[in-house]
């Protein structure tokens, strides 16, 4: 992911550098190109970090526009500092105080626009990839009455698995570890030694007394064990 983000930043910087080839003497063009590459690389890394922070704050599933907007806000302050330092290095002196509000405002707008665009592109690619992939093998195990349903969760009960789906519940004979292997094409995670949960099925996450509980679309209360809590926090689930 990091290398891909840097590659995109490199492409943007190269394009801007080509546009500026005939806009001044060679020395000025070279300096401007160096700034483009520095801003693109640093901005790409800051943008990636900001999206991850926004996801941890719970914005991953609140829409691409909102996620990108929040990531842009997070990114604006450090990127503003980078732009100010770059302008200082290029001219040999700090920009006048009167120019700072305009510089920060432009940086904020660019950060928000770039973050929203990056999130939209990334989600579009993920959606296209998911449509092109074969459906998870686990879906073939659904009983006839549940065929075509969304799988919300899989709960281990002795040697059986209770399936929580958009068409109701049922039991099948299978180990949870085998089911998780076959659920690889769905966005979800094991949250407890007895539970696998689809991300789209979670409507609420509550934390208290050192434990977290997920509420699913069918009203089921799913405990989150400490073994998986850190991973889920990193993905913005809780």
160 with 224, same domain? yes
Cβ-count burial of 111 within 10 angstroms (0-12 exposed, 13-18 middle, 19+ buried)?
buried
| Best CA proximity match to 203, nearest among 156, 237, 162 | 237
Per-residue pLDDT of 40-66, as tens digits, reads 888 888 888 888 888 888 777 677 788
Does the pLDDT of residue 132 top 60, yes or no? no
In this structure, are 142 and 99 located in the same domain? no
Confirm if 224 and 212 have CB atoms less than 8 A apart.
yes
**CATH number of domain containing 165:** 2.40.50.1020
Query: What gap in Å lies between CA 35 and CA 32, rounded to an integer?
Result: 5
Structural domain for 143, as ranges? 137-234
Question: Which pLDDT does position 182 carry in this prediction?
Answer: 92
Residues 188 and 111 in one domain: no
Residues 37 and 125 in one domain: yes
Q: Is 39 exposed, middle or buried (0-12, 13-18, 19+ CB in 10 A)?
A: buried
Same domain, 14 and 98: yes
The number of folded domains in the chain is 2
- Tens of pLDDT, residue by residue over 13-49, are 576 666 665 566 666 667 777 777 888 888 888 888 8
pLDDT tier at 202, thresholds 50, 70, 90:
very high
Regarding whether 181 and 119 lie in a shared domain, the answer is no
> Are 185 and 136 spatial neighbours (Cβ–Cβ below 8 Å)?
yes
Same domain, 160 and 222: yes
How many whole angstroms separate alpha carbon 145 and alpha carbon 179?
19
Which of 132, 152, 167 is the C-terminal boundary of a domain? 132
Last-in-domain residue among 132, 167, 188: 132
């Amino acid at each position: 992911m990091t290398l891909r983000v840097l590659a995109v930043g490199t492409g943007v910087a190269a394009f801007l550098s080509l546009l500026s080839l005939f806009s001044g003497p060679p020395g000025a063009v070279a300096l401007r190109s160096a700034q483009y590459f520095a801003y693109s690389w640093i901005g790409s890394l800051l943008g990636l970090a900001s999206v991850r922070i926004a996801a941890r704050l719970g914005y991953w599933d609140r829409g691409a526009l909102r996620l990108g907007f929040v990531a842009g806000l997070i990114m604006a302050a450090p990127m503003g500092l980078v732009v100010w330092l770059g302008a200082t290095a290029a001219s040999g002196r700090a920009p006048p105080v009167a120019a700072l509000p305009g510089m920060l405002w432009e940086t904020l707008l660019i950060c928000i626009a770039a973050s929203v665009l990056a999130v939209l592109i990334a989600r579009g690619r993920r959606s296209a990839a998911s449509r092109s992939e074969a459906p998870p093998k686990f879906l073939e195990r659904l009983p006839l009455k549940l065929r075509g349903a969304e799988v919300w969760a899989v709960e281990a009960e002795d040697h059986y698995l209770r399936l929580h789906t958009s068409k109701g519940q049922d039991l099948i004979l299978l180990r949870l570890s085998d089911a998780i292997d076959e659920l690889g094409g769905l966005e979800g995670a094991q949250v407890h030694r007895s539970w696998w949960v689809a991300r789209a099925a979670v409507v609420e996450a509550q934390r208290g007394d050192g434990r977290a509980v997920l509420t699913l679309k069918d009203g089921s209360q799913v405990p989150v064990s400490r073994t998986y809590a850190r991973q889920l926090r990193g993905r913005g689930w809780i």
